Amino acid sequence: MAIEYVCETSGKGNSGFNLIILGGGSAAFASAIKATELGARVAIVEEGVIGGTCLNRGCIPTKNLLRAGEIYYGSGKHNFAGINLKSKRLNFSALIEQKDKLVKDLRKAKYLDILKANPNIKFIKGRGEFLSDKEIKVGKDILKTEKFIIATGASPSILPIEGLDKVEYLTSTEALDLKKVPKSMIILGGRFVALEFAQMYSHFGTKVTVLQRSNRIIPDDEEEISAALQKFLEDEGIRIITGVKLLSVKETNGMKIVTCEIDGKRKDFKSESLLVATGRRPNTKGLGLEKAQVKLNDKGAIIVDDEMRTSVTNIFAAGDVTGEPMLVTVAAHQGAVAAQNAIDDCCHRKVNLSFVPHAIFTYPQVASVGLKEKEAIDKGYKVKIRAFDFHLVPKAAVIRDTRGLIKMVVEDGTDIILGVHILSPEAGDIIHEATVAVQKRMTIQEIIDTIHVYPTLSESIKMAAQSFLKDVSKFSCCAE
């Protein structure tokens, strides 16, 4: 697409735009939409495929394939008597084609159609690089304006492991485009990306080994949930090894060999495919940020305040390029806040990340909001804790999947709910009631007094609250 802009100078700089946004994902589009609602004329500068990580390489394609894997694997592994679905076939390339069509359709509906319908947003294909705090270069063109938002996202982070650069390995991007299911796969990493791909390919028939450097998987979640999820994944045949020191990688006769040190002993692991899922790094290189004097932290992320303003007052940043938490919902929220503060200087809208829920879409899923037990104690709270197994939740028994637990962290004395942490089927949906409870500082009694639909998995939130006062294992249906 050719560069397109309007040469107007009235309060807009000589590019004709009130705001120029670098990036073309969720944060960028949320910024552009909010800015145009406030009357601004906006340019989006993006060199890659429009739609960002979530649409093209993250949330949408991974959750689509995870669901396909659940159906394929579950067809022969369900717990219902009288149903025999063991005769199953897999056309993996057809699943990939269907996934690609879904991404293409959503790209059109959620991004390209928005550009077409909004005359105040101009898309500029190319890489933007700062020349100063008031101008960028895109190809041979120089664009000037008074306000910028940087929303260039993040990319897979690759560890400096000896020999890795000489081996053909996968990142989460390439792992979504394989044409056939590998017989075996080693995954380096043990957080959400690593585990989602581990279960996805395991469900399709790949023999998966997860090598995690930390002493447990998902180390940022509660220990009880980490341990339970590891057991459930191992029960499905996924090999998980923690406390691993990665030494080297090599390829011999088409097989990848990872050499590690575990408990002081060297051990080799061999597989057909190797997936590196060791985190993500902000896309800040090559943007000329030093010329604009935009400061970065020690992880290469752009430093912003709670108004999403960088170290330069007229330049804002939003989304994964600002570091953790790298969540599409956070990126979109930050983008809208950045745009409002950029266009409407007097509003001073702020971002509060204290109540942001997150989810891991393994099955069962992990979801969490608010403070974990140790975090609450470290902040000076006196807390009381309840954790109970999902076999006590009637709906879990109904669907014949009682895997999971729920842990609630409550302030002692006030009974205010500080955090809720769930491992269960559909935890990513259940967590929203808990999010409102934590954000609004609700008490356990207020949750108990809320009538829930029966039988539902979300009833587990009420049962968790009840467990502080009574033995829920001795309840009749819906009792208080």
The Cα–Cα gap between 394 and 459 comes to 9
Q: How confident is the model at residue 14 (pLDDT cuts 50, 70, 90)?
A: low
CATH of domain 19-155+281-343: 3.50.50.60
pLDDT of 11 higher than 70:
no
Q: pLDDT (tens digit, 9 = 90+) per residue, 197-250?
A: 999 999 999 999 999 999 999 999 999 999 999 999 999 999 999 999 999 999
Mention the CATH class of domain 164-278: alpha beta
Task: Give the mean pLDDT of 392-407.
Answer: 95
pLDDT at residue 454, as a whole number: 94
pLDDT of 4 higher than 70:
no
Kindly write down the DSSP assignment for every residue of 260-274, as one continuous string: EEETTEEEEEEESEE
Check if 19-155+281-343 and 164-278 are the same fold.
yes
The Cα–Cα gap between 203 and 181 comes to 10
Q: How much is the pTM?
A: 0.93
Per-chain mean pLDDT for the chain: 93
Indicate the DSSP class of residue 165.
G
pLDDT of 476 higher than 90:
no
Q: pLDDT (tens digit, 9 = 90+) per residue, 109-154?
A: 999 999 999 999 999 999 999 999 999 999 999 999 999 999 999 9
Task: Give the mean pLDDT of 99-118.
Answer: 95
> What residues does each domain of the chain span?
19-155+281-343, 164-278, 358-474
Q: Residues 302, 150: contact at Cβ < 8 Å?
A: yes
Q: Where are the beta strands (DSSP E) in 34-132?
A: 42-46, 121-125, 128-132
Question: Does 255 or 474 have the greater pLDDT score?
Answer: 255
The Cα–Cα gap between 148 and 324 comes to 21
pLDDT at residue 347, as a whole number: 81
Residues 6 or more apart whose Cβ sits within 8 Å of residue 453: 459
pLDDT at residue 278, as a whole number: 95
**Structural domain 358-474, CATH architecture:** 2-Layer Sandwich (3.30)
Q: Return left, alpha or beta for 404; rule: phi > 0 is left, psi -120 to 50 is alpha, else beta.
A: left
- Name the residue with tokens 């022969």: 76
